Structure 1
């Protein structure tokens, strides 16, 4: 079946699903997020600007469509499912020329004991960021522009516990399926990659979370990381303040940490560790207007001996104008500056953007 038929498939699921499914009802959902951006970007190598961008572009920011739902197998057990795909609002296709790119695609079971899922999914460590990354999915504003650890893994098996006095535990693992590691050995165990997260107060005025993962990388990147992340957010009336700290290390001495942002890679092609933090906040000035800001920093140590660290700094400010609970206009400015060892590159490359956009959730 061609991916072009996916919208018809989703509609068909909603209209013609069996009676057992319709009892709970599959839900077609999604998000359209498009922005008009002014970019000022550069890449420096050997003291020379080797590529740069100074133009206006329309961008699709993780727009998506999906179907999700559950139905009762018996009085104590439910089947649950989600199939979610990224769509490109600006061009209709992604960088690989495809109309749809897989996001979280899972099936599973749910009971009083918790939820068990299998498939492709964000790792528990990625999930704990909640809303602390105020510019999530936006160009240059997303925190993945200066830190590692934002992984969505294939072949995930994940369990989430029921709420216990505000606490929830999520644990996930993924078999290596005989992939060859940096040490030349096969990852052939049941749980070659693992991720764990403990959260407290999700959806309340005080949210805290701690996560750790071992031997984790994206599905396409080389290297592998061991990462520990701590997140917190407090709501004080109309103000929310959040913070994130994490430390990432190479999984083995032969490895490099995975998923290093391209701007940092100008100062070394591989790194053995990275420490990073982020502070963010927002203020609901009125019922419709929300002001946002965040500041982030990371320090990455190259694998090559006697080379200075690569430092990345992000600053972002923005405003949301809510039309209702599901749609908004927004504007923002974001900048990421990187500097490192002059043996790799000189200067201080700076990527900047200012954008206005519209987001609707359905």
Structure 2
């Protein structure tokens, strides 16, 4: 993952602060935002026999904005960095790069260039109820990628609730080929009231071709509460003969389900994912359950349990955690 030095990180922080201060005084039209997410957790696996950790969970700090440059045309920009709440730095660096881009937006859609979360990953929508935690989707399946040197187009609403996205990644002189789009990711998403449907594909992303189908459905049930369920299917295969999964095969399938019931300030979340293989493990499954309690508008106190298993080396790791998340 690309990283920036401590000196650059300090400069970036200064710029963000000055931008926020100047927001009311001049033409600065962006905003500083972020999220801090930390857990105190117990991790039990065959190698460690159980350890206690203070764990950072994808905390971030960013600056983003939109500038009108012509009638109906805007400049979009974002600088977002991961921050380490627990250690203060990771691998000697204070910040790690997340989504960073410059783009244009008009009635024809959005065009962004930079380091971006690709459409295939974005297509999961709200399905992954344990995103950023040890129970998240990407712990046992491939395809959860944020890539550098990405050019991405997002359409306006094509029909009621329907949006398409396409991202291409040039070769930049690496490997035997150097085409305008050595790799690509695309999605078609329908979102209307309680229903969410997504179809996404990858072509030669991390040497894989992939298909992802996702749906979530929300409705009021059980008194005053809100109930939501989701389902996911994913098929993956090697883009060429050089790629093999960890068990030597060249195709993989994964399935998953998630559910959440929210009542007033509390919510219960459950998720189960199973995958026959990935680049890291084979015949794996992951079960997660959580209880969240809303503390004000932007803060959540939560506890969760996750159990990840794989036939590869008879692997199993269990996590029990209590955490606090605050967005600003």
Using the size of structure 2 for normalisation, the TM-score is 0.92
Query: What are the ranges of 5 or more consecutive residues in structure 1 without an aligned counterpart?
Result: 43-50, 181-185, 218-223, 258-264, 303-308
Query: What are the ranges of 5 or more consecutive residues in structure 2 without an aligned counterpart?
Result: 1-6, 221-225
Cα offset for 1:271?
A: 4.8
> Does the 8 A contact of 1:37 with 1:356 survive in 2?
yes
> Does the 8 A contact of 1:177 with 1:187 survive in 2?
no
> Does the 8 A contact of 2:140 with 2:278 survive in 1?
no
Q: 1:75 to 1:144 in 2, by over 3 A?
A: same
What CA distance in whole angstroms lies between the structure 1 residues aligned with 2:153 and 2:168? 9
What CA distance in whole angstroms lies between the structure 2 residues aligned with 1:192 and 1:326? 41
Alignment of 1:282-361 (within 5 A): 282-284=260-262, 286-300=263-277, 310-340=282-312, 345=313, 348-361=314-327
1:133-163 Cα offsets, whole Å, 9 max, x none, are 1111112x11111111011110000000111
Partner of 2:13: 7
What CA distance in whole angstroms lies between the structure 2 residues aligned with 1:280 and 1:167? 23
Alignment of 1:35-184 (within 5 A): 35-42=39-46, 51-94=47-90, 96-139=91-134, 141-164=135-158, 165-180=160-175
Partner of 2:208: 225
Q: Which runs of 4+ in 1 moved over 6 A?
A: 17-20
Q: 1:169 to 1:332 in 2, by over 3 A?
A: same
> Does the 8 A contact of 1:234 with 1:240 survive in 2?
yes
Partner of 2:185: 195
SS where residue 230 of structure 2 aligns?
Answer: strand
Partner of 1:305: none
Partner of 2:231: 243
SS where residue 187 of structure 1 aligns?
Answer: coil
1:72-115 Cα offsets, whole Å, 9 max, x none, are 10112100001000000001012x22110000000100001101
Q: 1:18 to 1:323 in 2, by over 3 A?
A: closer
What CA distance in whole angstroms lies between the structure 1 residues aligned with 2:49 and 2:113? 41
What CA distance in whole angstroms lies between the structure 2 residues aligned with 1:116 and 1:18? 28
Cα offset for 1:275?
A: 0.6
What CA distance in whole angstroms lies between the structure 1 residues aligned with 2:230 and 2:92? 37
Q: 1:241 to 1:179 in 2, by over 3 A?
A: same
> Does the 8 A contact of 1:271 with 1:301 survive in 2?
no
What CA distance in whole angstroms lies between the structure 1 residues aligned with 2:157 and 2:234? 25
Using the size of structure 1 for normalisation, the TM-score is 0.83
SS where residue 48 of structure 2 aligns?
Answer: strand
Partner of 1:208: 197
What CA distance in whole angstroms lies between the structure 1 residues aligned with 2:199 and 2:26? 38
Cα offset for 1:256?
A: 3.1
Q: 1:19 to 1:75 in 2, by over 3 A?
A: farther
> Does the 8 A contact of 1:283 with 1:291 survive in 2?
yes
Equivalent pairs, count: 315
What CA distance in whole angstroms lies between the structure 2 residues aligned with 1:97 and 1:83? 21
> Does the 8 A contact of 1:81 with 1:106 survive in 2?
yes
What CA distance in whole angstroms lies between the structure 1 residues aligned with 2:229 and 2:267? 13
What CA distance in whole angstroms lies between the structure 1 residues aligned with 2:155 and 2:195? 20
